[in-house]
Structure 1
Amino acid sequence: MTEEATAVRRGRPPQTQEQAEEVRARIVDATAAVFARHGSRGLSVAQIIEQAGLARPTFYRYFGNAAEPLHAVLEVSNDGLVGGIGAALEGTDEPVQLGIRLIDAYMDWARGHGPMLRPLFAELHDPSSVVSAYRERAIEDIRALVRKSFDELGRRPPAPLDLDAALHVCEYIVYRLAAGTEPGEDPDPVLASEARLTMIRVLLVTLGTRDDLAYAMELPGIFPDV
């Protein structure tokens, strides 16, 4: 037996691509769980490997530090938000329905984050947190999607301040929902429904026209009866 063959025999069996992807996903999932409990500042390799049930050398085979899998978590989060809104805006060419679909896509994204939503929102406006940079990227992508939708409708793009006001109010409302629940719990359905209506009204007032408001007035439940 050659020296090379002996080394292969004594070493660990080579890992398949599928096995490697499974371990990497396990680390990323563990990172999301630790981030949900402690935020980015409480994130450490020790906590991640304990959560994942892996040895430290295994972790370093895939990532160089605790921040790297967090980047993967945030990348998936951003892609889910922007992708969901992009798909929603392609579903109709009626302006008010476009706004409603955007809100619903945002709410669906938020529901999918569970306990991770609280630290995510807590660090959105913290320039020293990696979360803040991802948030800015997502907001800029959403701005571009909204402007593109207005252009396709043949409408003048919204004023930058109006658009940012609408997006930031919606962001704040979802944050309020997340902050008012215990980790792992879903928001109260009644409060979630009220939050959705508030966001729809904000979009109508900041980005809509008189025709949009007239259309929305005929929709059941959007505005309360006098």
Structure 2
Amino acid sequence: MSGDSAAVRRGRPPQTEEQAEEVRARIVDATAAVFAREGSRGLSVAQIIEQAGLARPTFYRYFGNASEPLRAVLDASNDGLVGGIRAALAGTDEPVQLGIRLIDAYVDWARGHGPMLRPLFAELHDPGSPVSAYRERALDDIRDLVRKTFGELGRPVPAALDLDAALHVCEYVVYRLSAGTEPGSDPDPALATEARITMIRVLLVTLGTRDDLAYAMELPGLFPDP
């Protein structure tokens, strides 16, 4: 028997593209689960394959190390956030409605992460974590979206510091909302309402115009009575 024939018989049957994608997705899902428990510093190939129920050679058929499937997890997270913000910015020029849509986009993004949200927020400001670099990439994409949208709507493009302040408050509000919420559950309605109002106020002051503020002052419940 030739060496080539022996290799074919001893090897595993070739996978279809669909089967390969299923295994790859299984590894990525297992990586997300390990990351949720251990954070990026506790992530290892050994833990991923144990979580996925796969052999080590199977893992290395798709990824070279534990960082690669983590990048896939973070890519999906960024895509979800930026895509949600893109949809929120589309179709409205009304400042209060824009604020509601933005905070809802952030909340929807957070809801889809379940227990993975804890290490994501814990590592946002850790320069040694890959999460930090991905966060900056997402913020860059969101900044570009906001500037582009405001320009297309004929609104003043916000100053860099004002825009960053608005985005960081969005991030903090989502953290506050998610901190006391069971993974995958909706936040407390009263707290969600309070968060929307806070976010709208911040957006009006940081990204709005004088006319926006004058309009908002006439809306009941948005600002406390003197």
TM-score by length of structure 1 reads: 0.91
Cα distance in 2 between the residues matched to 1:3 and 1:129? 46
The one-letter amino acid paired with 1:214 is: A
- Give secondary structure in 2 for the equivalent of 1:21: helix
- Give secondary structure in 1 for the equivalent of 2:192: helix
Cα distance in 1 between the residues matched to 2:39 and 2:5? 47
Contact 1:82–1:138 (CA<8 Å) still a contact in 2? Answer: yes
Contact 1:150–1:157 (CA<8 Å) still a contact in 2? Answer: yes
Report the counterpart of residue 155 of structure 1 in structure 2.
155
Cα distance in 2 between the residues matched to 1:198 and 1:20? 46
Cα distance in 2 between the residues matched to 1:139 and 1:3? 54
Offset at residue 211 of structure 1 (A): 1.8
Offset at residue 219 of structure 1 (A): 4.6
Task: Give 1:22-101 correspondences, 5 Å limit.
Answer: 22-101=22-101
Return closer, same or farther for 1:190/1:99 CA change in 2, 3 Å cut-off.
closer
Cα distance in 2 between the residues matched to 1:102 and 1:186? 16
Cα distance in 2 between the residues matched to 1:93 and 1:17? 44
Cα distance in 1 between the residues matched to 2:76 and 2:112? 12
Offset at residue 128 of structure 1 (A): 0.6
Cα distance in 2 between the residues matched to 1:142 and 1:184? 24
Contact 1:84–1:109 (CA<8 Å) still a contact in 2? Answer: yes
Return closer, same or farther for 1:177/1:94 CA change in 2, 3 Å cut-off.
closer
Report the counterpart of residue 209 of structure 2 in structure 1.
209
Cα distance in 2 between the residues matched to 1:91 and 1:6? 62
Report the counterpart of residue 176 of structure 1 in structure 2.
176
The one-letter amino acid paired with 1:123 is: E
Report the counterpart of residue 196 of structure 1 in structure 2.
196
Contact 1:114–1:186 (CA<8 Å) still a contact in 2? Answer: no
Report the counterpart of residue 17 of structure 1 in structure 2.
17
Describe the superposition over 1:8-35 as per-residue Cα deviations: whole angstroms up to 9, x where unpaired.
2332110111000000000001111111
Moved more, 86-95 or 200-209: 86-95
- Give secondary structure in 1 for the equivalent of 2:222: coil
In structure 2, list runs of 5 or more residues that go unmatched: none
Cα distance in 2 between the residues matched to 1:90 and 1:182? 30
Offset at residue 83 of structure 1 (A): 1.1
Describe the superposition over 1:87-115 as per-residue Cα deviations: whole angstroms up to 9, x where unpaired.
22112233432332222211111111111
Cα distance in 1 between the residues matched to 2:113 and 2:122? 14
Return closer, same or farther for 1:2/1:44 CA change in 2, 3 Å cut-off.
closer
Cα distance in 2 between the residues matched to 1:59 and 1:10? 19
Describe the superposition over 1:40-73 as per-residue Cα deviations: whole angstroms up to 9, x where unpaired.
1111111111111111111111111111100000
Cα distance in 1 between the residues matched to 2:26 and 2:94? 42
Moved more, 94-103 or 77-86: 94-103
The one-letter amino acid paired with 2:160 is: P
Contact 2:120–2:131 (CA<8 Å) still a contact in 1? Answer: yes
The one-letter amino acid paired with 1:120 is: L
Offset at residue 184 of structure 1 (A): 5.7
Moved more, 197-206 or 212-221: 212-221
Offset at residue 3 of structure 1 (A): 5.7
- Give secondary structure in 2 for the equivalent of 1:12: coil
The one-letter amino acid paired with 1:117 is: L
Report the counterpart of residue 128 of structure 2 in structure 1.
128
Q: Does 1:166 align with 2:155?
A: no
The one-letter amino acid paired with 1:116 is: M
